[in-house]
Amino acid sequence: MTPFELTLVLASALLHAVWSTTIKSSRDPLIFNLLQGAFSIVIGSGVVALVDLGSLSPALWRWLALTSVAHGLYIYWLSRALEHGDLTLVYPIARSTPAFLPFVAVPLFGESLTIGGASGVAVVVAGMWLVQAGSHLGRRSLATPAVRYALLTLAATVVYSLADKGAMLELHERPAGGGVPVAVLYYFLLSLGHLAVFAPLVVRKRGLHAIAAARGELGTATLASLLALLGYGAILKALETAPASYVVAVRQASVFFALLLGIVRLRERPGRARLLGAAATVFGVALIALFGT
């Protein structure tokens, strides 16, 4: 990865950790995430109107359909996981994507990993599972709602990471007109798409009355939406040129940031294993930065 790509991904990792902390500290993570959709609808509709959607390739629309479903389920399952468990437990499980992504990204997109880069991915994964081990996971804890929903979130993350990489490759080769940056256009297209999946799930689970009663958090939810836009825009920009396996692995520095935020803001008290795992995650990112080219 180039220094510019690395900076983009690390900035995205920090923003994602702050975003997740904001969701965890809300009164109802599920409704809070739905309120974030107001920003996407208002701003996204204006952005998308500037582009000739007919100029987008059929391949891009297929990637968009896949990522919209995956993102909708990701937000739903992440919200449910944060309802039931600590951020310092849920986040490392949900962000274990590098353990699985290379097995698909390498053959699908023709990516190649150096020995140093692959070692960095392995260390990042080991660090995340060390953080997870701090909760003394066993067969009984794997049956808890927090862990179940976190594992489902992980599965959705693997799918949308691959879909986003495919879409950004398509847009990089065939950019849309209208003067809208590729990453911004794609972000709002997938945001509008995932709302079509996510919103019905929330309404079914909570009901319209509960959603209306939570409108007092709309301002905070809008701020969270801005964080999501900046963070995901940075990731999409990096995915235009950097290998998906490296991008996703480096982004797991967010585990370290989330651990700090969980301690400072949410008053969670992780054990030694979680702290050691966070340090390993940072070391793995350094390996990718130094030897992943």
- Please write the tens of the pLDDT for every residue from 72-121: 999 999 999 999 888 877 877 777 766 666 666 667 667 677 788 778 77
Domain count, the chain: 1
- 8-22, 37-51, 114-128: which has the highest mean pLDDT? 8-22
Q: Which of 118-122, 155-159, 236-240 has the lowest mean pLDDT?
A: 118-122
Neighbours of 113 (CB within 10 A): 19
Could you list the residue range(s) of the whole structural domain that residue 193 is in? 3-291
Instruction: Name which residue leads in pLDDT, 41 or 136.
Output: 41
- Please write the tens of the pLDDT for every residue from 270-290: 677 777 877 777 777 777 766
- Output the pLDDT for position 254: 81
- Output the pLDDT for position 35: 93
